Amino acid sequence: MTVFAGKAHVFPINYEAEVSQRLVDAAHDNDPKSVYECLDDPFVDVNYVGTVCLKSRKTEIVLKGESAHEVGVEYEEFKTQVTAFFLAAHSGNLTLVRKLLSYGANVNLKLFRGYATTAAVREGHAQILEVVINAGASQKACEEALLEASYLGRARLAEMLMASELIRPQAAVHALVSASCRGFVDVIDTLIKCGVNIDAIDRTLLQSSKPSLYTNADCNALVAAIVSRQISVVRLLLQAGARTDIKVSLGGWSWDVSTGEEFRVGAGLAEAYSVTWCAVEYFEASGAILRMLLQHVSPNIAHFGRTLIHHAILCNNERAVDVLLSCGADVEVPIKTTTSETEYPIHMASRFGLSKILQQLIDGGCNVDSRTDSRETPLMICARYKHQECFRILASNGADFGLVNSCGQSSSVIAESAKWSLGFKRVVLDLIRAGKVVQSSNMTIFSPLLYVTQANDVEALKQLINCGCEINSQTESGETALMICARHKHQECFKVLASNGADFGLVNSGGQSASSIAESAKWTPIFKQAILDVIRDGKVVRSSNTSICSPLMLVTQENNVEALKQLIERTDIDVDEQDENGYSAAMIAAADGNLEAFKLLICAGADMNLQNKHGQTPLDLLDTNQNGEEFEKLLLNHAVQKGPNSSSLEFYALHLAAQHGDLDLVHTLISRGYDVNAFDAEGYTPLMLAARGGHGKLCELLISFGARCDTVNARHETALSLARKTGSKNDAEKAILNEFALKLVLGGSHVKKHTKCGKGAPHSKLLRMLGAAGLLRWGKSSKRNVICKKAEVGPSDAFRWNRRRKFDCDEPGMFHVVTTKNKELHFVCEGGKEMAELWVRGIKLVTMKAIFGKNE
């Protein structure tokens, strides 16, 4: 209206706007009294849009690299146009909201900051939202409020809005995707329970700082959660049955399927790939998202000829590689092009110089020597691209330096062609000095051992040996490191090799050994001295062919007792090794008369039964030197000290003592447990040897300790036959016959007994002697148990007369006895006269022992 005052002209005043603005200001100041005064004014416009300085929430997505995006909330204050109703909803003044509604406030008036529903959701006023919805909030107002709820994580308010049945499906999907980007699990759970399609596509803004991404893309909630690294959201969506077979165009890498060549095209410009590939490229720091997806999708499904492991390497993400390997990704799956299989994951990592990923692949069990279609190994690729750290890792993990590609080039040749020889050598030497073994399956291509030997690098050589290198590897010409040292007179390296088991028995293609090479190089004295030094240091100088070089023979021939002591103290030394003529060290010592060396060898258990090609044993060779008796004494003394079964030597000690007739020594050896019935190498028992020597007392001793007189050797010889070979009857034969006789009469046998001094009919009786009583017995009655005072072979005169007509007086095996009662008894035994003599001998021996307590 226009106001006039007198003659002065006054500008018109819009009272309606003024009072309506006061209403807005009063609502902004939360002044109920002023609000009510304004509402009572008939000129007030309850839906008037006024300007105030409003302080409200503002949300912003904060990117955290490979960690989950966060929602940053801050308050901002700025001038904007609002209504009193909007302010009441914003401030949460339920009374004022209802008052304004009663005055006709418009609930669907859209302002710069949205609808009143939007304000209520933004500030979290559930009761006001419920009032506004019931007051007739429009579909657009509710949909915008739902989106605001998804921005701020207002799950309860989102549920209220969905319950209004005013939300269209696409709006609900948009809210679901937005909440998935922000990680609001409660909102997502609410929307899913309200029936929102979790697999529906929506166009939304996706952001990432690693890799860089800021684009609007068509995706579903799962993809949005993956790009935003929201672990809990991904878990919830997967549990709710979200599909994992969808594809999305968010990749930044592309490749030529015909050649395998990769291109960096930028995020979102590559071919569409599945969600697992998205989880690799937009990897979440802990790997939880990728692990969850891999529970539903295999990591080995190919995409344009590649699998996830290839993509993780292409993205240079070692943590993604680690997750994939732990979930069963195949480290040996090749890249497939339209024409062939080009390379494996380890080749990619080597080509890009990704040392950490390379180590992961190796730890995952990949083949460090796998080949590309051009037969290139990862080691060759690293040499070509000069990736020193990757080269070091491969070499440390056993990559083969002896392989060649289809052009015949090895890694060393490739390094040289790439002008990287110095770097190559530096890595190899550093590894060797660090204790790593540089592997080579073809020493003609590359041999670490020969390399350090030729360089005379003692420290590197020691490290190489400590790492278990093949110390006897040979070149194409058969050369070993030992031979190289001998040829170039590298004494220290020679000692190191000899101390660590280098084989002195090998020869090269020219038939030369290390010793012959040393001789041709006029280095023999130093060669031998080096070997002796090594042995004296307690090391074993090895030789696989003792006919070429035998350390044991060498020290024995040199009669170097100190070196021999050190040598035989080793448990792995064979003191019985033989040369091409079958000679052992003990044989050499015996033949040369080296008593001390011989003593050391027998103490070490040298086999005294070993034979050379001439059939000689060390004991046989003792006869060839002037100290033979001293050697035999040494053998016997050793046998007494050690006892039986301590070595092969002592098995024949008793035989040797018996052969020499040493009664005391034999007794000592038997008391030490030596077997009196054992055969020696020639098939003789101690008793046979004593009998052959005519040692009667010794035979008695052996028999008393259980020596068997009836033993027969392979020559069909017995102790008795050997005793008789000495000539006339001797004590040995007597002792043996006594033993046979005693066994015969005490054991008894069936004989034919004549009665009545030949007058009666003969009959069979079991005849035997009772040792303790001295009785001859052939029955139980006293008449059949008699004591003999005389026994003779053949018949008596009376018997001969009584049997004169029978013509059997001289029957073989006849003998007779005369009892103490002067009664003659005649018997005939089987076995003839010799057996009759044994009966007579036995009867006399038993009777004498029983009556007089002596054998004779």
Give the mean pLDDT of the chain: 86
pLDDT at 831: 87
| Per-residue pLDDT tens digits for 768-816 | 988 778 888 898 887 889 999 899 999 988 888 888 777 778 888 999 9
Maximum separation of any 2 CA atoms in the chain, in Å: 210
Instruction: Judge whether 15-162 and 627-737 match in fold.
Output: yes
Q: Is 31 helix (H, G, I), strand (E, B) or coil?
A: coil
Q: What is the pLDDT of residues 159-175, one digit of tens each?
A: 999 999 999 999 999 99
CB contact set of 151 (below 8 Å; sequence gap of 6+): 59, 71, 178, 182
Q: Is the pLDDT of residue 375 over 70?
A: yes
Could you give the C-alpha distances from 60 to 34, 96, 323, in angstroms and in order?
A: 36, 31, 31
Tell whether the model's pLDDT for residue 647 goes beyond 60. Answer: no
Q: Give the CATH architecture of domain 15-162.
A: Alpha Horseshoe (1.25)
From CA 546, how far away is CA 553, in angstroms rounded? 8
Residue 804: the pLDDT is 78
Predicted confidence (pLDDT) at residue 550 exceeds the cutoff of 90: no
Please give the Cα distance from 61 to 54 (Å, whole number): 22
Please, where are the H alpha helices in 569-718?
A: 585-592, 595-603, 618-621, 628-642, 653-660, 663-671, 686-692, 696-704
pLDDT at 2: 46
Provide the pLDDT confidence category of residue 265 given band limits of 50, 70 and 90: confident
| Predicted pLDDT at 648 | 47
* pLDDT tens figures, 79-132: 989 998 999 999 888 988 998 898 889 999 988 888 999 999 998 999 999 999
Confidence at residue 639, expressed as pLDDT on a 0 to 100 scale: 60
Picking from 471, 445, 617, 441, the residue whose alpha carbon sits closest to that of residue 539 is: 471
**Residue 643 above 80 pLDDT?**
no
Residue 547: its pLDDT value, please? Answer: 78
Cα 534 to Cα 462, 465, 541, 596: the distances in Å are 15, 16, 7, 21
Instruction: Using the predicted structure, report yes or no on whether residue 176 has a pLDDT greater than 90.
Output: yes
Closest to 697 (Cα-Cα) out of 745, 662, 725, 654: 662
pLDDT value of residue 571: 75
What distance in Å separates the CA atoms of residue 121 and residue 148, rounded to the nearest whole number?
A: 7
Predicted confidence band of residue 634 (pLDDT cuts 50, 70, 90): low
pTM confidence score: 0.60
The rounded radius of gyration (Å) of the Cα atoms in the chain is 57
- Give per-residue pLDDT as tens, 821-846: 889 998 999 988 889 898 999 888 88
- Locate the domains of the chain by residue range: 15-162, 627-737, 748-852
The 10s digit of each residue's pLDDT in 20-61 is 888 888 888 888 888 888 888 888 888 999 889 988 888 888
Section 378-392 average pLDDT:
94
CA dihedral in degrees (140, 144, 149, 151; nearest 10)? 160
Residue range 181-186: average pLDDT? 93
CA distance 746 to 449: 79
The phi, psi pair for 672, rounded to 5°, reads -85, 0
As a whole number, mean pLDDT of residues 438-459 equals 84
Q: At what angle do helices 94-102 and 126-134 cross, to 10 degrees?
A: 10
Q: How far apart are CA 125 and CA 378, in angstroms?
A: 64
Q: Which fold has domain 748-852?
A: PH-domain like (2.30.29)
Token pair for 759 = 């007058």
Nearest in space to 310 (alpha carbons), one of 327, 329, 296: 329
Q: 470 and 440 in contact (C-beta within 8 Å)?
A: no
Q: What percent of the chain shows pLDDT beyond 90?
A: 34
With 90 as the cut, is the pLDDT of residue 1 above it?
Answer: no
Per-residue pLDDT tens digits for 745-773: 888 899 988 888 878 888 888 899 887 78
pLDDT band at 346 (very low <50, low <70, confident <90, very high): very high
646 pLDDT more than 60: no
pLDDT band at 9 (very low <50, low <70, confident <90, very high): low
130-153: per-residue pLDDT in tens? 999 999 999 999 999 999 999 999
Angle at 478 between CA 476 and CA 484, to 5 degrees: 110
Positive/negative CA dihedral, 107, 109, 111, 115: positive
d(CA 90, CA 132): 12
Q: Per DSSP, what are the bridge partners of residue 766?
A: 750
DSSP state of 782: G
**332: burial class by Cβ within 10 Å (0-12, 13-18, 19+)?**
middle
Which residues have C-beta within 8 Å of that of residue 345, sequence separation ≥ 6?
309, 310, 313, 331, 332, 333, 361, 366
Cα dihedral 192, 198, 203, 204 in deg (nearest 10): 60
What is the spatial distance between Cα 634 and Cα 619, in angstroms, rounded to a whole number?
12
Q: Report domain 627-737's class.
A: mainly alpha
Residue 583 sits at φ, ψ, to 5 deg, of -80, 135
CA atoms of 850 and 839, how far apart (whole Å)? 16
pLDDT of residue 627: 60
Q: What angle do CA 311, 317, 322 make, to 5 degrees?
A: 90
- Residue 761 neighbours by CB distance under 10 Å: 7
Instruction: Please give the residue that has the higher pLDDT: either 264 or 143.
Output: 143
**What band does 735 get if pLDDT is binned at 50, 70 and 90?**
confident
Question: Is 395 a residue whose pLDDT tops 70?
Answer: yes
Asked which of 71-80, 254-263, 295-304, 457-466 is least confident by mean pLDDT, the reply is 254-263
DSSP strands (E only) in 83-211:
202-209
Nearest one of 538, 593, 587, 590 to 562, comparing CA atoms: 538
